[in-house]
């Protein structure tokens, strides 16, 4: 195990692209020890980052991630749960098998990582869990029911975790609006684009700045951050 302050160790799920990648770069530039877990291999893998090929919906993968991470940089003091998939299907005509895949990644993937990494945080009585949600949480909209349901559930999980780990673990929900990533292109089904939404868009680096801000507050806990493009209405 690597020596050092565990508060400087950060694990980011879904860290190969988009928001996760921006978070990894931000914290790496600030001299944190950064590990990313993703099903995709990053196109550009900086030497300062540790990469673990991981499907967070697979319990064996998460167990292997835990063991390999501990042997590489040590236990994470900061856990960013960012891995997720999108889907656009109507409830009366969509594919329940695809819905299950979204639930397994967005919800169960986060829960598996919480179960794996938070016990050591509680043992040490310090740590910070950041859950990347969405402004879709709590917002029913046609063809978006499954995705919104997973994000709504994640926000309940986040506040429950906060209550269960008081006063030792900080828990922050970060809810971005429309963000210019490959999220829409990688949806399991359905298609749109940030341009088609006509609301403007955030850069992934905007959300990375939000997360860095929340992590670096002393003596208080930032529980939720919502950031939208200026034109976004919901």
Smallest CA-to-CA distance from 39 within 69, 70, 84 is with 84
Residue 1 inside a domain? The answer is no
Q: Does residue 202 sit in helix, strand or coil?
A: strand
Total of domains in the chain = 1
The CA distances from residue 55 to 102, 113, 117, 224, in Å, are 12, 11, 16, 26
Residue 141, domain extent: 6-227
| Terminal-residue alpha carbon distance, the chain | 45
pLDDT per residue of the chain (234 residues) written in tens, 0 to 9:
344 466 789 999 999 999 999 999 999 999 999 999 999 888 766 656 899 999 999 999 999 999 999 999 999 999 999 999 999 999 999 999 999 999 999 999 999 999 999 999 999 999 999 999 999 999 999 999 999 999 999 999 999 999 999 999 999 999 999 998 888 777 888 877 778 777 789 999 999 999 999 999 999 999 999 999 999 988
Residue 233 inside a domain? The answer is no
* Buried b or exposed e, range 148-168, using 16+ CB within 10 angstroms: bbbbbbbbebbeebbeebeee
Residue 83 inside a domain? The answer is yes
Rounded distance between C-alpha atoms, residue 12 and residue 117, angstroms: 12
Contact call for residues 182 and 19 (beta carbons, < 8 A): no
Q: What is the pLDDT of residue 23?
A: 97
Rounded distance between C-alpha atoms, residue 204 and residue 191, angstroms: 20
CATH number of the domain at 53, please: 3.40.50.720
Tokens standing for residue 225: 């951050």
Residue 234 inside a domain? The answer is no
Smallest CA-to-CA distance from 9 within 67, 56, 68, 73 is with 73
Residue 97 inside a domain? The answer is yes
Residue 116 inside a domain? The answer is yes
Can you give the pTM of this predicted structure?
0.94
Tokens standing for residue 215: 């992590």
Residue 232 inside a domain? The answer is no
Q: Which residues does residue 49 pair with via DSSP β-bridges, in sequence order? A: 34
Residue 91 inside a domain? The answer is yes
């Amino acid at each position: 195990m690597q020596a050092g302050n565990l508060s400087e160790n950060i694990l980011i799920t879904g860290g190969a692209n988009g928001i996760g990648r921006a978070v990894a770069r931000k914290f790496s530039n600030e001299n944190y020890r950064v590990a990313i877990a993703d099903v995709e291999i990053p196109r550009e893998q900086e030497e300062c980052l540790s990469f673990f090929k991981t499907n967070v919906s697979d319990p064996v993968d998460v167990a292997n991630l835990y063991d390999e991470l501990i042997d590489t940089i040590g236990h994470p003091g900061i856990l960013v749960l960012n891995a997720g998939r999108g889907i656009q299907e109507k409830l009366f005509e969509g594919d329940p098998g695809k819905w299950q895949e979204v639930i397994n990644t967005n919800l169960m993937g986060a829960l598996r990582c919480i179960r794996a990494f938070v016990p050591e945080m509680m043992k040490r009585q310090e740590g910070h869990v950041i859950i990347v949600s969405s402004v879709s949480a709590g917002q029913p909209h046609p063809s978006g029911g499954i995705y919104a349901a997973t994000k709504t559930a994640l926000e309940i999980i986040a506040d429950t975790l906060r209550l269960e780990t008081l006063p030792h673990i900080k828990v922050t929900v970060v809810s971005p609006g429309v963000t210019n990533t490959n999220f829409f292109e990688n949806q399991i089904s359905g298609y749109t684009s940030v341009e088609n939404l006509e609301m403007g868009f955030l850069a992934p680096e905007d959300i990375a700045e939000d997360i860095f801000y929340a992590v670096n507050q002393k003596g208080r806990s930032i529980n939720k951050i919502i950031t939208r493009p200026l034109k976004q209405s919901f």
